Structure 1
Amino acid sequence: MTDATSRPGRRATLSAVAGSIGLSAGLVVAYYLLPMEAALEGGTVAGLVLGLIAVTALFLWQLRAITRSLYPELRAVESLAALVPLFTLLFATSYFLLERATPGSFTEPLTRTDALYFTLTVISTVGFGDITAQTETARVMTMIQMVGGILLVGVAARAVVKAVEASRHRRDPQQRD
């Protein structure tokens, strides 16, 4: 059994929640403020692949941090609060840059907000259909996002839960929840 001393206090919980909200908000603000005026000729897909590799590496590092954390549940929340917006904004940036490099890749020109909107409709599986991928490159990128979203929800969520359980078990081998 876990005793009261191993549970996070109100201060640690509020700090984790505030930090998660702050990080997510900061990432969105950075998305809107970072200069992306020049289209990436031919480098958009390569940038996306490198970004996905970086997000995967960050995820693996976060899993290790969760298993070693004194409060693994809070660390898991912080990890997901970083990974989900990073994943989302990586694709929004890629779509925005693709549209700048190859106008007509989508059914309408994409602003940053339009690119984020399209990304969120894909990741949430809502798919309103008002903005759709028109070119083969845009469709491939969208399919990669769909598969990545499924992996993020299914595999990543399960891995985070397992990391929390591993941390609990490491702290108290008698605990079986």
Structure 2
Amino acid sequence: MSDPAAGRTERPRPRKGPYRRGRPKRRTRWTKVVVVARAFLIAAGLVTAYYLLPLDGYSARGTAVLLLSGLLAVVLVFVWELRTIIRSPHPRLKAVEALAATLVLFLVLFASAYYLLDRSAPGSFTEPLSRTDALYFTLTTFSTVGFGDIAARSETGRVMTMLQMAGGLVLVGFAARVLASAVQAGLRHRGPVGQETGADAGDAGDAGGAEDSEAEPETET
């Protein structure tokens, strides 16, 4: 008597090829490249605008108003970046981009303020400042190196320098901690590790449904 199970052949499920296993890794690698490139372009764009924009015709009071308005803009950009980090599918990468954009905007803002102050009130620094000199002084102050070859001489210049020092401490300490908290919130919003949500989950579901439809259901004889 023949065994009916012997004549029944199971159709093997199609195995996922290497391109399916490597697709998430390639997508993550490509996302990293895009984020790094975008952060570099933002930084390059801000520095280019610093060198190209006409920074003349401001008084010392107008320079102070411009600096305060710019600091408000930095805060608004930072808050907006926090919201995008929480909603982003890649919160860690988005945090790197946000920190780079906020930091460069902060430095370019103070470099512009120093340059305008030196133009509106000559003698505010130990030597006349070009745009490169102003950016150099900003970087040495932010990094707490302070070579001493350029120093603020006027009271307004020293107030601006102290404001940059305080803002740099806040940016490095408090802002970095807030970004880390936003990253954790973004990871919780995205779901557990290994669980796909949103568009990725939809794509995975569609792919899984297509594979299941290819396999024929087994019928017992």
Q: How many pairs align?
A: 172
1:155 deviates by 0.4
2:147 aligned residue: 128
Match of 2:96 in 1: 77
* Alpha-carbon distance in 1 for matches of 2:89, 2:75: 23
Q: Higher relative contact order by CA 8 Å / sep ≥ 6: 1 or 2? A: 1
Contiguous gaps of at least 5 residues in structure 1:
none
Q: Deviations over 1:77-110 (max 9, x none)?
A: 1111210010000000000000000000000000
Distance 2:182 2:24 in 1: 20
Which residue matches 2:212? none
Name the CA shift for 1:12/1:131 in 2 (closer, same or farther; >3 Å).
Answer: same
Distance 1:90 1:34, change over 3 A: same
Equivalent positions of 1:138-157 (< 5 A) are 138-157=157-176
Question: In structure 1, how many angstroms separate the alpha carbons of the residues matched to 2:152 and 2:60?
Answer: 18
Residue 92 of structure 1 is matched in structure 2 by 111
Tell me the residue number matched to 2:58.
39
Instruction: Report the aligned-residue RMSD.
Output: 1.8
CA distance in structure 2 between the aligned counterparts of 1:49 and 1:152, rounded to whole angstroms: 16
Distance 1:29 1:20, change over 3 A: same
- What amino acid is aligned across from residue 173 of structure 2 in structure 1? G
Shift of 1:37: 2.9
Corresponding residue of 1:111: 130
Please give the alpha-carbon distance, in whole angstroms, between the structure 1 residues aligned to 2:151 and 2:133. Answer: 11
Change (3 A) 1:103 1:116: same
Is residue 2:92 matched to residue 1:55?
Answer: no
Q: In structure 1, the residue corresponding to 2:146 is in which secondary structure?
A: coil
Q: Does 2:89 match 1:65?
A: no
Q: Is the 8 A contact 1:6 1:71 kept in 2?
A: no
> What CA distance in whole angstroms lies between the structure 1 residues aligned with 2:193 and 2:32?
25
Q: C-alpha distance in 1, partners of 2:135/2:83?
A: 30
Q: Secondary structure at the match of 2:61?
A: coil
Structure 1 runs, 4 residues or longer, greater than 3 Å off: 4-8
3-state SS of paired residue (1:103): coil
Q: Percent sequence identity over matched residues?
A: 55
CA separation of 1:166 and 1:6: change in aligned 2, threshold 3 A: farther
Shift of 1:5: 5.5
Q: Which runs of 5+ in 2 are unaligned?
A: 1-22, 195-221
CA distance in 2, matches of 1:114, 1:13: 34
Structure 2 vs 1, CA of residues 140 and 11 (structure 1 numbering), >3 Å: closer, same or farther? same
Larger Rg belongs to: 2
Normalised by the length of structure 1, the TM-score is 0.92
Once residues 113 and 154 of structure 1 are traced to their aligned partners in structure 2, the CA distance between those partners, rounded to angstroms, is 27
CA distance, structure 1, for counterparts of residue 66 and residue 138 of structure 2 = 16
Alpha-carbon distance between aligned partners in 1 of 2:25 and 2:190, rounded to the nearest angstrom? 9
- Which residue of structure 2 aligns with residue 19 of structure 1? 38
